[in-house]
Each structure stands twice: as structure tokens, then as C-alpha cells.
A and B are shown apart, each in its own frame.
Chain A
């Protein structure tokens, strides 16, 4: 980490440690997005879980307070009851719902999906996802910007899923998004954070929450995201498709807390040569 990229506390003063609470292993500082305080900096997705019961157990173990859902057709044959139960499951567990626009390739589709989500779920929060193609699932920057403009104009609080592009991230902030969510790696790859330098750049220049979204494979990836200065981490399949989703959810819960504490604690500078921590003076003649 270069000095110039260390978080500028004049711009971002939300990283102040609180020794009393930090010593208990819990960062005191809530994540605040759009004026709403969230006790957990782990945002969960719900995709990929084989059963609703298993998903519920994993969400509880993760400690998440905000969870994404997709908007899809209600099943006409009545089999849609399980889908209704997902919404009910989140409500019962006091987990806020963050609808996404997954599967949208154009700004027009994304705006319509967001409007349907606002009507169905009674929230103006939306995770804006406009992908370019099914092979990479990477965001289409032009459609993303177009959709962001329209949704902000319509009063949505946009959580913009974006490339790890510091320039685009700033543009999205200028357009009025509530949070910017750069990818660590393509969706579902579990490759971790492919360009940590870009994530640091995004964090250093952002005046809104930065959420590392997509590509997380295991707990150390999430800890790294927080150490780089991200305000939160969003992941789904790293938990839902793990061999033991509940254990992995617990791992991510602690990784995010650990990474946040490390970011607040301030790591030592990296050195080329060793530096003894025991004094050389006063050694006995042995």
C-alpha cells in the first residue's frame, strides 16, 4: 500500500477506532448508507442456495442485516409460494431487502425491473446491475451510467455494481449513487480481488460507501477488501455453494470484522530488511 493511497481522513472520517469496543472484537462504527445504520458490514446475496432452510441458517450465521434478492415472474401454478417465503424469511429475520436488477442487459430493462422491485418490496434501494454479456457477466459501463441517471432522477437509492475502474466509480458518485460496488473479480468466479490497487484508488477518492461486490471466494478475500478500506463486502455463492454454508458464513462474519479492525488499526509499513523487536543491548554472555 503506497502512502498516497492511504485513506484521506479529511474526506473519509468514518474509520475512527473506538478502543473500548474494538477490544471486544466488534468495530463500533456502523455502516451508514442513505442515512440507514447497518450493524454488519457483510451484505449477503441469496443466489445459489439449494434450499430456503439452508439459506436461512446461513444468513443468520453471517449476521447480515442487508440481503439482495432478484425480481422474477411469480409462478402461476402456485409453486411460487417458496418465493414468497424468501421475502417472508428476510422480514422475519429483520434483514433489509436490497432488490437487484440481475439479468438486465440494457438501461431500459434495469429501470423497469427497479420500478417493479420498488412497487413489490416497498423500498427505493436497488442494486443496479447491467451486464454486458452472459459469458463475462461484466458491467456494461455505458448502460450502467444511463440507468444510473434515470434511476437517480426517479428517486431511487442506487447501489451501483461496477467494474473496478476508479474513473467510472467517481462518475457514478457524481451522478448521485448511494454506494458504489466495484467487483473484485467476475461474478461467481471466486477469484478474489484481482486488482487491489484499483480498489484502493476507488476507496481513497470516494465520498460514499464502497462495497466490494463479486468474485469473493473465501474469508481472506473479504478481509483483504476491508483492509483495503472498503466499507462493506457483498457476496453470495462463496457462502451458498460452500461445502458447509453455515461455517463459511461465520468465517465471513469474522473476516469482515477482522479486516475492518485491521484497517482502523493501521498496518505497519512493509520493509525490505528485517527489524528486530527485541533489544540487542543487555544480552547475557551465553
Chain B
């Protein structure tokens, strides 16, 4: 079990968990290896790991390390 920071709060995940698995669990949507949603819709989510963007094409190849700092963002209402 690893502890990471997820959107500013501690979060436990199994060792070897990928960014793709985390995003899929958070959004409740299955992902293709490309990082696109398997349902064909747009996911609208981006991931930064330790202040670097992880492109969606790299999500399934990126395993989380202990103490990683993850920011997962989406579009919300705003001027």
C-alpha cells in the first residue's frame, strides 16, 4: 500500500497502481490504453504528477510512487 497526495489530501492505493487506474476509479469510466474513455465520450480530465503534466497517452504506463503529488483537474463553472 502506497500513500500519495491526491488533490491535496492523503490517498492510499495499491503498489503499482497506474495513473490510468486512478483516473478510471475517480471518474467511474473505463479507459482505453490511449487514455481516451472507452465509452467514446470526452473525459475532460488532466493529470499533473509532481508538478509535471502526465499526457493521457502515458497514463497506463505511469505507476504511482509513494509520496507522489497528484493533481487531477476538470472543467468547472467559471467566468
A interface residue numbers (CB < 8 A to B): 45-49, 55, 68-74, 76, 78, 80-81, 83-84, 86-88, 91, 97, 99-100, 102, 112, 115-122, 187-188, 214, 236-237
| B45 with A74: CB separation less than 8 A | yes
Q: Which residues of A contact B63 (CB under 8 A)?
A: none
Number of A-B contacts (CB under 8 A): 111
From B71, B72, B77, A49 is in contact (CB under 8 Å) with B77
| B9 with A99: CB separation less than 8 A | no
Closest chain A residue to B7 by CB distance? A73
From A86, A122, A236, A237, B76 is in contact (CB under 8 Å) with A86
| A116 with B77: CB separation less than 8 A | no
Further pairs besides A73-B8, A76-B6, A188-B79: 20, Cβ < 8 Å: A47-B77, A47-B79, A68-B79, A71-B46, A71-B75, A71-B76, A72-B78, A73-B7, A73-B71, A74-B26, A74-B45, A80-B27, A84-B44, A86-B76, A87-B42, A115-B53, A119-B46, A120-B74, A120-B75, A121-B44
| B79 with A236: CB separation less than 8 A | yes
Closest chain B residue to A52 by CB distance? B77
From A47, A84, A116, B46 is in contact (CB under 8 Å) with A116
Q: Which residues of A contact B77 (CB under 8 A)?
A: 46-49, 55, 69-70, 86
Closest chain B residue to A116 by CB distance? B46
| A87 with B48: CB separation less than 8 A | no
- Chain A proximity of B60: nearest CB distance (Å): 15
| B78 with A112: CB separation less than 8 A | no
- Chain B proximity of A147: nearest CB distance (Å): 17
A117 to B76 CA separation, bound complex (whole angstroms): 11
Closest chain A residue to B77 by CB distance? A46
Q: Which residues of A contact B47 (CB under 8 A)?
A: 119
A119-B75 contact, Cβ under 8 Å, with A74-B27, A84-B27, A87-B42 = no
B interface residue numbers (CB < 8 A to A): 6-9, 11, 26-28, 41-48, 51, 53, 55-56, 71-79
29 contacts between A and B (CB under 8 A): A46-B79, A48-B79, A69-B76, A70-B78, A70-B79, A72-B73, A72-B78, A73-B7, A73-B72, A74-B45, A74-B74, A78-B28, A83-B76, A84-B27, A87-B42, A88-B44, A91-B42, A100-B78, A102-B78, A115-B46, A116-B46, A116-B48, A116-B73, A119-B46, A119-B55, A119-B56, A120-B43, A120-B46, A214-B79
Q: Which residues of B contact A70 (CB under 8 A)?
A: 75-79
| B46 with A117: CB separation less than 8 A | yes
| B78 with A47: CB separation less than 8 A | yes
A45 to B76 CA separation, bound complex (whole angstroms): 11
10 shortest interchain CB distances as A-B pairs: A70-B78, A120-B46, A45-B79, A119-B46, A69-B75, A87-B44, A47-B79, A236-B79, A73-B7, A46-B77
A122 to B75 CA separation, bound complex (whole angstroms): 12
| B45 with A120: CB separation less than 8 A | yes
- Chain B proximity of A183: nearest CB distance (Å): 11
- Chain A proximity of B12: nearest CB distance (Å): 12
| A80 with B26: CB separation less than 8 A | yes
Closest chain A residue to B8 by CB distance? A73
A12 to B74 CA separation, bound complex (whole angstroms): 37
| B27 with A120: CB separation less than 8 A | no
